[in-house]
Amino acid sequence: MIDLYTFTTPNGRKASVMLEEVELPYNIHKIDITKNEQFTPEFLAINPNSKIPAIIDQDTGMTIFESGAILIYLAEKTGKFLPTDQKSRFEVIEWLMFQMASVGPMLGQLNHFKKFAPEQIPYAIERYQKETLRIYSVLDKQLSDKEFICNEYSIADMATFPWIAIYEFQGLTLDNHPNLKRWVETVQQRPAVQRGMAVP
C-alpha cells in the first residue's frame, strides 16, 4: 500500500496519475498548501523541503519525495512506463528532467505572476509567458513524428501532461502548436489520467 501526500497542483497530479496507471492501491492524504499544511512537523518529517507530492511505500518502508523521483521509483517498482534498454530509458529520463527543470518551473512562475501575485508585474509575465511558449515549441517539435514524447507512453508524458493541460487557465492556446494539442487530447482520454487528475 502506498500513502500519497498531495494537493490539487500539477506536481501533485503527476503522482496520482502514475499510481492510477500502474494500478497500485494507495491512500490519499490531502496536504492543503493554501493552509500551510506542508510546513507541519509531521509533513516535514516526510519531506524536509515542504513540497508535495511525497509517498510512503508501506511494503518497503521507503519514503520518497520530489515528483520525478516518485515516478522513477514507481516505474521501477512495477516495471512499467520506463524502458529497460539503456537508450530508450535515458531518453525518457532526459524528457523527465526537461519537465522537472524547465516545464514545471517556468510554467509555475507564469502561474504565479499571472494569477496569484499581489501585483501585476508586466516584465515578469512577459518573461515567463515567452519561455512557456518556447517550451511549447520544443514539445511540439518533439511530438511532430511521435504519438507520445518518447514514442511509447511513459513517465515523461505523465510528468508533463498536468502542466500543459492547464494552458487555458493560464490564458494561452495550443492552436499554434498542433502536435502538442493533439498529444494533450490523446493523453487526457486515458481513464487512469482522468482518475489521477481528480485526486485529491
pLDDT tens for 156-195 read: 999 999 999 999 999 999 999 999 999 999 999 999 999 9
User: Which residue from 6, 106, 10 is spatially nearest to 65, judged by alpha carbons?
Assistant: 6
Q: Decide: 170 and 111 in contact? Cβ < 8 Å.
A: yes
User: With helix as H, strand as E and coil as C, how does the chain read?
Assistant: CEEEEECCCHHHHHHHHHHHHHCCCEEEEECCHHHCHHHCHHHHCCCCCCCCCEEEECCCCEEEECHHHHHHHHHHHHCCCCCCCHHHHHHHHHHHHHHHHHHHHHHHHHHHHHHHCCCCCHHHHHHHHHHHHHHHHHHHHHHHHCCECEEECCHHHHHHHHHHCCCCCCCCCCCCCHHHHHHHHHHCCCHHHHHHHCCC
Architecture of domain 86-190: Up-down Bundle (1.20)
Q: Are strands 62-65 and 26-30 parallel, antiparallel or unpaired?
A: unpaired
Give the pLDDT score at 92: 98
What ranges do the domains of the chain cover? Answer: 2-81, 86-190
pLDDT-flagged residues of the chain (< 50): none
Give the pLDDT score at 61: 96
Give the pLDDT score at 180: 98
Give the pLDDT score at 45: 97
Fold of 2-81: Glutaredoxin (3.40.30)
Give the pLDDT score at 158: 98
